[in-house]
Structure 1
């Protein structure tokens, strides 16, 4: 077995249907997981749903069902999204599962035994939508007199008995962590935000609620359920068998990367490491806060009416096409924008017209002119030069993907695809068929070797299409004739349906 690699997404809050932001994070995490597997790493990949809290209870009540029944229905939609988008998770965790209750209560007990929990009274501003408390100085007040959180969500004044975590004890240990491990929070802009927040002083954190009962019961505390973020964050260790020293735990913890949205960096880079320090658990190696996906430059919201169903996008444009677009178009770590036109233009230019056409032309000529038998690559200088160019580009893709710079890696890969198309145009094997059949075979052999290497490199991004292409090529190994190749990427049309889907 290869070196372990444990990657998690933030678990999705299923009080509504999945949107494109959920899909973006799941796809990015899947690309990382598949890339690490391609390097021989022993990957463990976890995603799932965060099902407790007041917001879930309220939404269930509005629908006239119990919270658990509502969570069952909604969680299934998120798992189906992952399956349709070809997300290769090892566990889809749900925080309503029994082993998660046990793990959450175990970390609570460990923090309590450390002396970091105490019973008090909470008074402060709380956002139901964010399941988060905010300080007065963090709030904004629009002209209508309401108070809004930094995320733009309404807050309300809350007073209740609560257990508190001595977060204030961990200000200096956290600052020391950020200095000793500068890669702990990525990208750097997120790290700077967190450092400034912690330097401003940390107040003790309310970690239980008594105003609702849909949550993990706090140990030995009547009527208290855990604050949803302590419960939610614990999923990362639940999935490895905590508190037992299981084989999974021993092999995969600490996590190599928690991949999350930038809006929940504070919870993962401040609260979570503090909880783990308190419980005596080793810290994850990295928290990576990616940017938002914007619809035509605007943040998606239900009130604006621009929330996009990712499954509609996948059905309209294709799963691999959507995956490629998101990884190619957006500089990972920054906000990115998409539209139907952008998807159609990018996919047609790069997958259909360039890579897909390259593969189709090369394999079709072999099928028609060489009885489907794959020839070896040529030995001429231009043949070797092309294969060296392809190898260098794929090596750069590997390096860039290792840095989570997906768009830069695919830019290098695309450069090699363009080089292959320039080579086939310059060599003109359709002309060589009549004038120099031996040279034609060498050119086609060079092309199929290049296409194979390019397909292998891009499997993490477009797994279904790339593996189909590789299967066609592999069928010709050993001198067996390949079947007639089929186009991989039909051209997309910018129709009214496509516009509506995006």
Structure 2
């Protein structure tokens, strides 16, 4: 069953909301996902990484609406496995990259991401950035030419150190980290002097890097302690086996290593080398399988070039399907386009961010998606909105006014616990979101909405008009509607990084001005004087009469 999001154009919201800013935590202004290989079409993992970064970016914008922010994503289009993928499909390399990159761009647009930059490593400006960084490292003596040999993973586009290699039952060399088959290569390459930067990289990891969740930072520190000496790393590949990439300056027999090329995309987005890096450094959002590249190699490249390494990295775990690792051979790779078609962008965003636990792998299951969306978006959130805007309980279709919190506590003493909980929601969500734990913040919001829903069962407002002393009962009904509609407004603000389309539709439904859709307005800490010092100028704030269904039940 399709999900409907119907709304009306907004009119003025006539309430003055007083607010406190809850935290001094500084939020980044530049978020960046890894750029994704175009050796295959996008899968659910690509979508999760990108909406995770998007939620962080939207959260920053909600808290700092006037700040200039960047959110970059894109595609990594060079390297051996992309070359082989295009050859296997008998397709021209450039055409192949155009086609697959377009699918990633379409996916992120369909998923309602707020990215400001979509970068491709085949862009001319990016090639200039890579060449410039390379030349600086050569000038500083950090790149030299030497014979390089070792076991190489085509899938990972990387040489694998001896301590991370095992032999399988067939006698083949396998990467312990990824399970991918390795091949022995010997060739003359350009090499980066990683060994000279060991102390500086370790100091950065130990004393400057903030990595969330903490378990990944702890594991990284343990890993570098187990490495007695950093070895210099190859940063080029011979054209004799690779033809698709950026040429090494002044040596057309070599191509720049794909990871050196890919990591430089963050500098390209920031305007390097033509502009001052005013938004530098980026906040990285990465999967746990590429920590080594972003937290050892990348800071080493930057330190060598005299640039500041990133000081904040959000890392997340992987998605399983029915408790099994997703793979083409098992036929259990989840198609993100199909998910958006079946559950809408907001639906699949909600499930992934609600059920995704960054510190450990999460499980994907179609029935689990349906259960989650039915129980929370349809029954909890949608049911509350429908109750508050029903003709039976709210025949005038209005947002009650002239009600203070003290008045609500007096007239609706049953609501005191709920009011306290709603009042603290933005504090709880701020901490959870800034830690990258969207699943915790969402759980807090849903608990608040369930508390409000439970008040309807306690107060039974549909019976109030039948009871004598209608003036008191009418006031009780108004207080319940006010509390419920305020809770919906606050929930829509706090969930906007997660479900941006639904939140926007709710704001329109309730006729709320944009200034009261920001994080600083996500509370009910109001007094009679603050709200209504100019109440003579107010008029009744009417709710849109057009029906809004937040989320329909899924069959």
Q: TM-score, normalized by length of structure 1? A: 0.93
Could you tell me which residue of structure 2 aligns to residue 440 of structure 1? Answer: 477
Could you tell me which residue of structure 2 aligns to residue 484 of structure 1? Answer: 546
2:233 is the alignment partner of 1:209: no
Q: 1:82 aligns with which of 94, 104, 108?
A: 108
The 8 Å contact of residues 352 and 489 in structure 1, kept in 2 or not, is answered as yes
Could you tell me which residue of structure 1 aligns to residue 506 of structure 2? Answer: 469
- C-alpha deviation, 1:83, in angstroms: 0.4
Cα deviation code 1:52-79 (max 9, x no counterpart):
0011111111222221111110000001
Residues 137 and 179 (structure 1), Cα distance of their counterparts in 2 relative to 1, 3 Å cut: closer
Cα deviation code 1:111-155 (max 9, x no counterpart):
111101110112111111111110122112221122111201111
- C-alpha deviation, 1:330, in angstroms: 2.1
The 8 Å contact of residues 315 and 358 in structure 2, kept in 1 or not, is answered as no
Q: 2:174 aligns with which of 148, 156, 160?
A: 148
1:380 is paired with a residue of what secondary structure? helix
Q: 1:373 aligns with which of 389, 398, 406?
A: 398
2:40 is the alignment partner of 1:16: yes
Could you tell me which residue of structure 2 aligns to residue 320 of structure 1? Answer: 346
Q: 1:460 aligns with which of 462, 475, 497?
A: 497
- C-alpha deviation, 1:186, in angstroms: 3.2
Gaps of 5+ in 1: 494-502
2:285 is paired with a residue of what secondary structure? strand
Cα deviation code 1:379-420 (max 9, x no counterpart):
231356533321212321121101111111111111101111
The 8 Å contact of residues 364 and 484 in structure 1, kept in 2 or not, is answered as no
2:34 is the alignment partner of 1:31: no
For residues 187 and 448 of structure 1, what CA distance do their matches in structure 2 show? 35
Moved more, 167-176 or 16-25: 167-176
Q: 1:91 aligns with which of 100, 107, 117?
A: 117
For residues 298 and 146 of structure 1, what CA distance do their matches in structure 2 show? 24
- C-alpha deviation, 1:217, in angstroms: 1.1
Could you tell me which residue of structure 2 aligns to residue 124 of structure 1? Answer: 150
Q: 1:241 aligns with which of 253, 267, 271?
A: 271
1:241-260 matches, cutoff 5 A: 241-246=271-276, 249-250=277-278, 252-255=279-282, 257-260=283-286
Could you tell me which residue of structure 2 aligns to residue 357 of structure 1? Answer: 383
Which of structures 1 and 2 has the bigger CA Rg? 2
Residues 395 and 191 (structure 1), Cα distance of their counterparts in 2 relative to 1, 3 Å cut: closer
2:156 is the alignment partner of 1:160: no
The 8 Å contact of residues 393 and 415 in structure 1, kept in 2 or not, is answered as no
Cα deviation code 1:432-487 (max 9, x no counterpart):
23333333223212211111111111111011011101111026995253213321
- C-alpha deviation, 1:20, in angstroms: 0.4
1:26 is paired with a residue of what secondary structure? helix
1:223 is paired with a residue of what secondary structure? strand
For residues 349 and 255 of structure 2, what CA distance do their matches in structure 1 show? 39
1:67-466 matches, cutoff 5 A: 67-149=93-175, 150-183=177-210, 185-199=211-225, 200=227, 201-210=229-238, 211-246=241-276, 249-250=277-278, 252-255=279-282, 257-365=283-391, 369-376=394-401, 377=403, 379-381=407-409, 382=413, 383=415, 385-435=417-467, 436-466=473-503
Q: TM-score, normalized by length of structure 2? A: 0.84
Deviation beyond 6 Å, 4+ runs, structure 1 = none
Could you tell me which residue of structure 1 aligns to residue 517 of structure 2? Answer: none
- C-alpha deviation, 1:245, in angstroms: 2.2
Could you tell me which residue of structure 1 aligns to residue 520 of structure 2? Answer: none
Residues 108 and 475 (structure 1), Cα distance of their counterparts in 2 relative to 1, 3 Å cut: closer
The 8 Å contact of residues 20 and 310 in structure 1, kept in 2 or not, is answered as yes
Could you tell me which residue of structure 2 aligns to residue 496 of structure 1? Answer: none
Residues 469 and 111 (structure 1), Cα distance of their counterparts in 2 relative to 1, 3 Å cut: same
For residues 427 and 465 of structure 1, what CA distance do their matches in structure 2 show? 28
The 8 Å contact of residues 350 and 414 in structure 1, kept in 2 or not, is answered as yes
For residues 202 and 74 of structure 1, what CA distance do their matches in structure 2 show? 36
Moved more, 141-150 or 376-385: 376-385
- C-alpha deviation, 1:80, in angstroms: 0.5
Moved more, 375-384 or 102-111: 375-384
Could you tell me which residue of structure 2 aligns to residue 497 of structure 1? Answer: none
The 8 Å contact of residues 332 and 406 in structure 1, kept in 2 or not, is answered as no
- C-alpha deviation, 1:288, in angstroms: 2.4
Give the root-mean-square deviation of aligned CA atoms: 1.8
Q: Relative contact order (C-alpha < 8 Å, sep 6+): which is higher?
A: 2
The 8 Å contact of residues 394 and 412 in structure 1, kept in 2 or not, is answered as no
For residues 223 and 113 of structure 2, what CA distance do their matches in structure 1 show? 34
Q: Which has the higher helix share?
A: 1
For residues 432 and 224 of structure 2, what CA distance do their matches in structure 1 show? 31
Could you tell me which residue of structure 2 aligns to residue 500 of structure 1? Answer: none
The 8 Å contact of residues 314 and 436 in structure 2, kept in 1 or not, is answered as no
For residues 466 and 219 of structure 2, what CA distance do their matches in structure 1 show? 65
For residues 202 and 391 of structure 2, what CA distance do their matches in structure 1 show? 62
